[in-house]
Structure 1
């Protein structure tokens, strides 16, 4: 196991390097840069000064070749943990992303827990009681969850919460508590708000994994090893959890590599609609104005999260399924 872990960590070094290169190139692909966007805005306002623009271009190093800009960017990250300066906000990228990353990870982990706690038992019930009324209900709900866009579900839930329950919508706390120190009232208010983005973001993921769990468990329930264990007198509940469910969990574990980064960055529209203090709206704005250091840093961090998520899922798969060999 340790040898397998060392090899995977070693492979991650060139992988992360290539990710950083591709990330920086993708950010640079659109024509122009942040100063071109700024120049267009100043020109519309009648305040364009070519001398000022040239000074800013030299200050930010945007007049240099792409590889020079990349080397400066990646060197600062590796040796100083400095992701550069946000052009638009004129603030260090570190100051802009870490607070939002904290909220993003908190919501993502809670959403992942919601997905698993919902999808696993419903998927098991749907497979064991196939073609029952409960199975049909779970199937219908799963199709609805896959079909309804998350941002539309967010709008509906926000309307219902405000119209019928009088709850303030948008954000993670009520407006009068924003910027206030954390007290018992603020924590309770956070709990009253945070469940909504968790349900909205987790609905489609739970719906998809319910279908996966049902399909995989149905494939395992009638295997010879299950029939043999049942013939030996093992109880149905113990048999179910010890063998077929354990094998059917493999797809759940293997999805950690893509579910985590998807939860962190994939629900940008939901974060904008619900006014969440996460990285999604920040990344969207950075891409729109071509704030390359801010956008590149966010994409780079999410890509690294994908690599680590894949490592975690591989280690868990090797631990839970003895058929997997480290070689």
Structure 2
């Protein structure tokens, strides 16, 4: 049942929050130590006084469990004061590095990451499904060999290398700078309007192609293998013997069942795109979550890094639930809960 799955997400997120908070605390030192090291390298004075002030301001001098409770917002249930609100109340905390709320730092970046990820999934499926179906139906044909060679080649090329090659080719032969998601006049604009959305769509094709290239190649191979297995099953032979049209037979039964493993993998696709696309985002200067998360981890900005990881975890769990629902709709034989024995 969907309600049961939603209820299970609560203790799962609690365990995830413990793991996330522990992981971001693992590096030695804290944000104040990193800031002091930067000041010493720049020749700044009164470093120790600043470190003490930072630890007091961000409660870094408190015990670990107390900081976790403050970050999660458990104290709010006792005091009901706004300063004790945490993740459970929708307050992502204050970024130590940027000195402003985490929601302001990652707001547009999360939205842009979602846009790029959804567009990448659409591109991946639009390329992989017809190519995989053709490769399976025309097994061992010239087209099958070409698609197989192209898929293996695409899977072996790192995404960041493909980004560098594409940027060099565009600059060398077309004289174009294709990095970023916006033109210079829109990059620093706050808020959204129709011209900015159109400008985003004009720049969206490159990161989508780079991120989706390898995923589409792998999905072609998976779709081909699954469909070949389905085409060899007895129900296909029976349907052909009864005179069912080949196209209708192919799309109504084997293709639909061959999609099951692909749909089930949708839940982990978004976290994979975020983690795997961090280097691509840095190469292409994309205002996405990956580079910001990496900078927060390096600076030991525990509230920014921890809150971003929790947001990504929630999105990953929601994606898993959506993929399970799509799988249930695609194949009625599958149920979210096991049927009781007769």
Which structure would you say has the larger RCO, counting Cα contacts within 8 Å and 6 or more residues apart?
1
Cα 1:74–1:273 shift into 2, 3 Å: same
Separation in structure 2 between the aligned mates of residue 125 and residue 310 of structure 1, nearest angstrom: 29
- The residue aligned with 1:272 is 282
Answer yes or no: is 1:53 the counterpart of 2:72.
no
> Which one is further off, 233-242 or 154-163?
154-163
Residue-by-residue CA offset, 1:53-111 (whole Å, 9 max, x unaligned): 11211111001111111111111334531111111111110100111111111111111
- The residue aligned with 1:161 is 170
- The correspondence of residues 1-327 of structure 1 with structure 2, limited to 5 A, is 4-49=1-46, 50-75=48-73, 76-180=85-189, 186-325=196-335, 326-327=337-338
Q: Contact conserved, 1:105 with 1:264, CA < 8 A, in 2?
A: no
Residue-by-residue CA offset, 1:17-67 (whole Å, 9 max, x unaligned): 111111101100111111111111112222242122112111110011111
Give unmatched runs, 5+ long, in structure 2. Answer: 74-84
Give unmatched runs, 5+ long, in structure 1. Answer: none
CA shift at 1:163, angstroms?
2.0
Separation in structure 1 between the aligned mates of residue 142 and residue 246 of structure 2, nearest angstrom: 21
Separation in structure 2 between the aligned mates of residue 78 and residue 147 of structure 1, nearest angstrom: 40
Separation in structure 2 between the aligned mates of residue 306 and residue 7 of structure 1, nearest angstrom: 17
Separation in structure 2 between the aligned mates of residue 174 and residue 53 of structure 1, nearest angstrom: 39
Residue-by-residue CA offset, 1:167-226 (whole Å, 9 max, x unaligned): 222111222443358676655543332100000001111111111000111111010011
> Which one is further off, 284-293 or 174-183?
174-183
Q: Contact conserved, 1:265 with 1:302, CA < 8 A, in 2?
A: no
Cα 1:183–1:257 shift into 2, 3 Å: closer
Separation in structure 2 between the aligned mates of residue 182 and residue 82 of structure 1, nearest angstrom: 24
Aligned residues: 324
**TM-score, normalization: structure 1?**
0.95
Cα 1:266–1:301 shift into 2, 3 Å: farther
Separation in structure 2 between the aligned mates of residue 212 and residue 77 of structure 1, nearest angstrom: 43
**TM-score, normalization: structure 2?**
0.91
> Which one is further off, 163-172 or 234-243?
163-172
